[in-house]
A = this chain, B = another copy of it.
Amino acid sequence: MKAHAETFTIRTRGKGTTEITDKVAHVVRASGIETGAVTVFIQHTSASLIIYENADPSARTDLHEFFDRLVPEDADYFVHTAEGPDDMPSHLRMVLTRTSEVVPVIRGRMTLGTWQGIYLFEHRSAPHTRTIVVSVVGT
């Protein structure tokens, strides 16, 4: 049995998605674990993680637009407004997606499907530095 964990940061450019698959794959390789699972975790409440289509960028354009409409910035019932109009929608968009993604590891590699990538989903308008923790457990 082995367990291995690493932390890295990503600088975002404001709202949108940034692929982090290669960075996670690097930690899996460094772990030397052949069979098990990797947990990817984001230490924030206004950004989140998703596993998403990595082939056609238009699918990510529509994703961003969908979340802008599902959780609008100008909801008149928000009381948590001290940090600006994009803050409360950020928490809600985070809670509708994921704080962690878990992927099995077989023969030393994540078992992602052909079109799957791991993405950091930034919900704030301004650029932020986000911390990601990756933990691999197995044999």
Which residues of A come within 8 Å of B, CB atoms?
1-5, 7, 33, 35-37, 39, 41-45, 50-53, 56, 58-59, 61-63, 65-66, 69-71, 75, 77-80, 82, 88, 91-92, 95-106, 111-116, 131, 133-135, 137-139
Contacts and interface: CB of A to CB of B under 8 A. Distances in A.
A45 B135 contact: no
Contacts of A70: 70
Contacts of A82: 56
Given A37-B137, A100-B102, A137-B138, 18 more contacts: A2-B139, A3-B33, A5-B36, A7-B106, A35-B135, A39-B104, A43-B114, A44-B116, A45-B51, A45-B52, A45-B116, A56-B82, A62-B79, A62-B80, A62-B88, A69-B77, A70-B70, A106-B135
A70 B89 CA distance: 13
A20 B117 CA distance: 24
Copies of this chain in its oligomeric complex:
3
Contact of A36 (B51, B95, B134, B137): B137
Given A56-B80, A106-B135, A137-B137, A95 B41 contact: no
Contacts of A36: 3, 5, 135, 137
